[in-house]
Structure 1
Amino acid sequence: MSADRLKKLNATLAAGGLGALLVFGQPAVPARAADVTLAETGSTLLYPLFDIWATDYARTHAGVHVTTAGTGSGAGIEQALAGKVQIGASDAYMSDAQARHYPGIVNVPMAISALTVNYDIPGLAADTHLKLDGPTLAGIYAGKVRMWDDAEIAALNPGVTLPHQGIVPVHRVEGSGDTFVFTQYLTFSTPAWENDIGYGTTVAWPAVPGTVTATGNAGVLQAIRQTPYSVGYIGISLHDDIAKAGIGTAALKGYSGEFLLPTPETIAAAAASLGPRTPADERLTLVNAPGAGAYPLVNYEYAIVSTRQADPQTAAAIRRFLLWAIAPDEANEKYLDDAHFIALPAHIWVLSHDQIETIR
Structure 2
Amino acid sequence: MRADRLTSAAPTLAAALIVGLLAVPALADDIKLTETGSTLLYPLFNVWVSEYTRTHPGVTISTAGTGSGAGLDQALSGGVQIGASDAYMSDQQARRNPQIVNIPMAISALTVNYNIPGLGSDNLKLDGPTLSDIYTGKVKMWDDGEITGLNPGVKLPHQTIIPVRRSDASGDTFVFTQYLAFSTPSWEDNVGYGTTVNWPAVAGSVTAEGNDGVLKSVQQTPYSLTYIGVSYHADVDKAGLGTAALKSYSGEFLLPTPDSIAAAAASLGPRTPVDERLTLVNAPGANAYPLVNYEYAIVSTKQVNPDVATAMRRFLHWASAPDETNQKYLDDAHFIALPPHVWVLTYDQIEAIR
Change (3 A) 1:75 1:272: same
The yes-or-no answer on 1:208 pairing with 2:202 is yes
Contact 2:7 2:340 in 1 (8 A): no
User: Hey, what's the Cα distance between the residues in 2 that align with 1:50 and 1:308?
Assistant: 23
User: Hey, what's the Cα distance between the residues in 2 that align with 1:327 and 1:299?
Assistant: 18
Letter in 2 for 1:197: V
User: Hey, what's the Cα distance between the residues in 1 that align with 2:19 and 2:332?
Assistant: 20
Residue of structure 2 equivalent to 1:273: 267
Change (3 A) 1:26 1:222: farther
Alignment of 1:1-360 (within 5 A): 15-16=8-9, 19-20=12-13, 22-23=15-16, 25-28=18-21, 30-34=24-28, 35-125=30-120, 127-360=121-354
User: Hey, what's the Cα distance between the residues in 2 that align with 1:16 and 1:304?
Assistant: 26
User: Hey, what's the Cα distance between the residues in 2 that align with 1:31 and 1:277?
Assistant: 37
User: Hey, what's the Cα distance between the residues in 1 that align with 2:143 and 2:110?
Assistant: 24
Contact 1:253 1:260 in 2 (8 A): yes
User: Hey, what's the Cα distance between the residues in 1 that align with 2:151 and 2:299?
Assistant: 44
What SS does the aligned partner of 2:194 have?
coil
Contact 1:14 1:20 in 2 (8 A): no
Contact 2:88 2:277 in 1 (8 A): yes
Compute the displacement of 1:32 (Å).
Answer: 2.0
User: Hey, what's the Cα distance between the residues in 2 that align with 1:351 and 1:19?
Assistant: 15
Compute the displacement of 1:45 (Å).
Answer: 0.2
Letter in 2 for 1:55: S
User: Hey, what's the Cα distance between the residues in 2 that align with 1:31 and 1:48?
Assistant: 28
Change (3 A) 1:27 1:143: farther
User: Hey, what's the Cα distance between the residues in 1 that align with 2:238 and 2:212?
Assistant: 13
Gaps of at least 5 residues in structure 2 are none
Question: What root-mean-square deviation, in Å, do the aligned CA atoms of Structure 1 and Structure 2 show?
Answer: 1.4
What SS does the aligned partner of 2:149 have?
helix
Contact 1:44 1:72 in 2 (8 A): yes
User: Hey, what's the Cα distance between the residues in 2 that align with 1:137 and 1:17?
Assistant: 40
Change (3 A) 1:20 1:123: closer
Change (3 A) 1:354 1:161: same
What SS does the aligned partner of 1:79 have?
helix
Q: Alignment identity in percent?
A: 70
Change (3 A) 1:14 1:43: closer
Compute the displacement of 1:19 (Å).
Answer: 3.8
Q: TM-score, normalised by structure 1?
A: 0.94
User: Hey, what's the Cα distance between the residues in 1 that align with 2:310 and 2:299?
Assistant: 13
What SS does the aligned partner of 2:156 have?
coil
Letter in 1 for 2:154: V
Compute the displacement of 1:310 (Å).
Answer: 1.4
What SS does the aligned partner of 1:281 have?
coil
Letter in 2 for 1:327: A
Contact 2:7 2:341 in 1 (8 A): no
Letter in 1 for 2:215: L
Compute the displacement of 1:20 (Å).
Answer: 4.8
Compute the displacement of 1:311 (Å).
Answer: 1.2
Letter in 2 for 1:139: D
Gaps of at least 5 residues in structure 1 are 1-11
Letter in 1 for 2:33: L
How big is each residue's C-alpha offset from its partner over 1:292-332, in whole Å with a ceiling of 9 and x where there is no partner? Answer: 00000000000000000111110000000000001111111
